[in-house]
Structure 1
Amino acid sequence: MTIRSGFLLLTFALSASALAAPRDAVTFVGVLEQMRGHYDAMLLNVQTGNQELALKHASHPANELYDAVKADLTPDLRARFLKDFQGINAALKANKPQAVQAALTGFSANVDQAIATIPAVTRNDPKYGARVISTILGNTKTEYSGGVSGGKVSNLTEYQDARFYLARATGWLTRYQTKFPADQGGQTAAALRQAKALLAAQADARLFNAQLDRARTELSEISGDPLAPSRGPMADFASIETLLTTARQHYTGGMTDAANEAVISAYLDHYEQLEAPLAVKNKTLELKLEETLKNGLRELIRQRVTPARFSAAIDATLKELKTARGLLQ
């Protein structure tokens, strides 16, 4: 039920070397694979008749993730992505499964072309492959932790995200495993097989995440990057506060794109880690902060509100984050 991708990057007539390379090739692909994972989950729900959940998954690529990669896409690819989003949403709302599948096939081809803008020397490097897989697995941990509690699914959307992110990571491992040392590659594959079984059993998040960390440890030996320990909620709060302060400075200075990127990073890279534990303490506050960081502040940027109004919104958000921090200390 996943979106098929031949990953035949060499078939594109346009040489990747002639295109501007993404600033951070690993983060870039990590976000693209999040898009694909959301659409994989959307397709599953289309096929099982769950239109409401399909629409929920479909909203993330265009509304949440696109801005995180837009600056690294060529003008042509930006236009193609926006057209793809419109086509997928139109087919979905018309409840035409075959049209949805066709639109997703076109989108996946454009994602492959976006990946092809990364220099071949990077794409062929096993260290790069290991870093991409590890990044996808980090996102998988976040979704599973928010989707399963007490041996049962507590949030179906996030559980499905974890399922398809894990499938995406496994697909990347299949492509790169022959480039990896046999021991590390084999241990990574074994850990992902175990994680898949635990996911199907809706096992405790600690057991599932332990297998992902086992895989990421092996991948870190390949990439040469030490696996960073879990930062913990206080570090994520500090990062969010720093990013929002940076966003305010950028916006006041007229750098709206940079302000938008800072807000996106605050949500995707840090607040998502806090959602599950904060929801246990205060679900209303968790949802309010999610809406603010995911949509509210970015909408103010799109509206080009006055710097004073944007600054006031940042202050209000920082105040709510202080309350949230106190709940998790």
Structure 2
Amino acid sequence: MNKAVRHQNLICYSLDRESPNEINRLYCKLGSTNMRMQNESKSLTSGKQHFNPVLLVACFAATMAICTSISLYPGFAEGQESGGTEVDAIQNTTDTSTSESNSSLVELDSNIEQIRGHLDQAVANKEIGNTTLARAHTLHPIEEVYSSIETQIDASDPSLNQSLSSSLTQLSNMVDNSTVEEFRTKALDINGLLNDTVGKVIPTREINDSAFNLMVVGNLLSIADSEYKEAIENGSVKEIVEYQDGQAFISRARSVFNESSPMIPQEQSAKIQEINGFFADLGSAVQEKSSPEVVSNAIRSIVHEISEVTGINEESISGTETDTSAFILEIRNLLNQTLDAYENQNYDQADTLAIQAYLDNYEFIEAPLAALNRTLMETTEVMLREDLRQLIQTHAPLEEIQEHIEKINSNLNRAEDLLAASG
């Protein structure tokens, strides 16, 4: 058999056995073989027109093999147009990279806002003559925050990175030997450099995106929550720097939220009012040195509303995982307390406890539960938010209240099983 024809037959044989990913490579190989055969034919005929039956048979066989292979692997033909699975994989990688990049930018912006918070507290302490705390708040950005953002700033503008770094050090050195006005002016200069940093490092589309800014709010509140837990014990401040950190980060979170509010669609105006109300409650709780649990609940309420506004899950906003089992346990405890209060004819307290079971707890498992069983989530929500309170307010028989709470607990058991299995 002619060597070229035998080679052609081997390719045709392989096409029926190779995976779709190999077909394109073999197709190219086949094309080059045909071209070589044609060149050899021209050489043999010395430029004369010559009918080569062997070449005709080989080409026909090759064409039939390709058609058969395409019919066996329809994805191959589609892949030539769409890029196939390899393009999809590239797209998936790009989407993942974009998500990671966005998360990195949220953290960067949050770190910048934390520096602003430290500057605010440094100036406030300088104004009242407390240089010890003023110095602490000038050192925290240098020791705890700046190293997290330095690389990103330097990659965009090395000169800006150097100016910002040296200015933070200069401010710390000015604590003892500057006037309040000089100190305040230097802090304002640093804020200007931070503004430049945002403009250089964070794309405009993120800066003007309400969801991005609300993610920054959630990140700041999560850090404030941690600082407050370190600072307060039994209604007293045990760590003053951490207490002021918590105050500062909450203040910056509220400032970012206020700046972002005009970007939020008008139909979400009711949610904006709710979040403002929760911020007011949070500020009062911190000012009164309430328990960390009270502050955490207020922060969770804000994060929950932000989640509803943006459609982003609460874990992504706060950077923490929702402990659904803890919320369900607390709902059960509150329902038991509700029943006790009702049995003692303390109807107002029973109503308050029922509200707490829903607002401070059930709302935080709604999103993950809805993703698994929306009907169960909505049914339990109505039973807890509306039906139970209706029974309490109309002074229904105790047995009816007990039966209703048992049904809620039964639904909570189902919810707990679903959430645990998914998790």
Which TM-score band applies after superposition, normalised by the shorter structure?
0.5 to 0.7
Counterpart among 240, 255, 272 of residue 185 in structure 1:
272
Name the SS of the counterpart of 1:25 in structure 2.
Answer: helix
Q: Which residue of 2 aligns with 1:99?
A: 182
Work out whether 1:214 is the aligned partner of 2:214.
no
Distance in 1, Cα, partners of 2:255 & 2:178 = 29
User: What SS does structure 2 have at the residue aligned with 1:202?
Assistant: coil
Please say if residues 147 and 158 of structure 1, whose CA atoms lie closer than 8 Å, have aligned partners that are also in contact: yes
2:161 and 2:223 map into 1 onto residues whose CA distance is 24
Of 105, 119, 126 in structure 2, the residue corresponding to residue 39 of structure 1 is 119
Query: Residue 62 of structure 1 aligns with which residue?
Result: 142
Is 1:52 equivalent to 2:141 in the alignment? Answer: no
Measured in 1, the distance between the counterparts of 2:310 and 2:216 equals 10
Structure with the higher fraction of residues in helix conformation: 2
Q: Tell whether 2:200 aligns with 1:113.
A: no
CA contact (8 A) 1:81 1:107 kept: yes
The match for 1:78 is 161
Superimposed CA distance per residue, residues 288-321 of structure 1 (whole angstroms, 9 cap, x where no aligned partner): xxxxxxxxxxxxxxxxxxxxxxxxxxxxxxxxxx
How many Å separate the matches in 2 of 1:31 and 1:46?
22
Q: Is the 8 A contact 1:191 1:211 kept in 2?
A: yes
- Residue 143 of structure 2 aligns with an amino acid whose one-letter code is N
Which of residues 168, 180, 201 in structure 1 aligns to 2:288? Answer: 201
Higher RCO (CA-CA < 8 Å; seq separation 6+): 1
Say if 1:140 and 1:166, in contact at 8 Å, map to a contact too.
yes
C-alpha deviations, 1:256-282, integer Å up to 9, x for none? xxxxxxxxxxxxxxxxxxxxxxxxxxx
Aligned to 2:408: none
Of stretches 201-210 and 183-192 in structure 1, the one that deviates more from structure 2 is: 183-192
Which residue number in structure 2 is paired with residue 151 of structure 1? 235
Q: Deviations over 1:26-74 (max 9, x none)?
A: 1001111111111211111111111112111211111221110011112
Deviation (angstroms), 1:90: 2.5
| Contact 1:128–1:223, Cα closer than 8 Å, also in 2 | no
TM-score (normalised: structure 1): 0.61
2:259 alignment counterpart: 175
Which amino acid is 1:198 matched to? Answer: A
Q: Per the alignment, do residues 34 and 53 of structure 1 end up closer, same or farther by CA in structure 2, a change over 3 Å counting?
A: same
The separation in 2 between residues aligned to 1:86 and 1:34, in whole angstroms, is: 16
Aligned counterparts of 1:151 and 1:70: Cα–Cα separation in 2: 37
Residues 314 and 322 in structure 2, CA contact (< 8 A), matched pair in contact too: no
- What amino acid is aligned across from residue 174 of structure 2 in structure 1? A
TM-score (norm 2): 0.48
1:76 and 1:27 map into 2 onto residues whose CA distance is 22
Residues of 2 paired with 1:98 and 1:91: CA distance?
11
Note the C-alpha offset of 1:216: 0.7
- 1:311 match: none
Q: Distance in 1 between matches of 2:140 and 2:237?
A: 20
- Assess if the C-alpha contact under 8 Å between 1:91 and 1:97 holds in 2: no
Match of 2:313 in 1: 226
- State whether residues 285 and 294 of structure 2, in contact with CA within 8 Å, keep that contact through their aligned partners in structure 1: yes
Residues in 2 aligned to 1:226 and 1:95: alpha-carbon distance in whole angstroms: 47
| CA shift for structure 1 position 210 | 0.5
Q: 1:231 to 1:95 in 2, by over 3 A?
A: farther
> Which residue type is aligned with residue 217 of structure 1?
H
Distance in 1 separating the partners of 2:230 and 2:126: 23
In 2, are the aligned partners of 1:216 and 1:227 still within 8 Å (CA)? Answer: yes
Cα deviation 1:178-204 (Å, max 9, x = unaligned): 222212222111111100011111111
Secondary structure of 1:24's counterpart equals helix
- Separation of aligned partners in 1, 2:277 and 2:250: 13
Checking the alignment, whether the CA contact within 8 Å between 1:137 and 1:165 is kept in structure 2 is: yes
1:156 and 1:90 map into 2 onto residues whose CA distance is: 22
Whole-angstrom CA distance in 2 between matches of 1:200 and 1:69: 31
How well do the aligned residues superpose, as a CA RMSD in angstroms? Answer: 1.8
For the pair shown, which has the larger CA radius of gyration, 1 or 2?
Answer: 2
Please tell me the residue identity of whatever aligns with 1:81.
Answer: L
The whole-number CA distance in structure 2 between the counterparts of 1:173 and 1:100 is 28
- Contact preservation (8 Å) 1:36, 1:108: yes
Q: What is the rounded CA distance, in whole Å, between the counterparts of 1:159 and 1:165 in structure 2?
A: 10
Distance in 1, matches of 2:103 and 2:293, equals 34
Q: Secondary structure at the match of 2:314?
A: coil
**In structure 2, what is the Cα distance between the partners aligned to 1:23 and 1:130?**
12
Distance, in Å, in 1 between the alignment partners of 2:212 and 2:271 is 15
Paired residue total: 212
* Aligned residue number for residue 225 of structure 2: 141
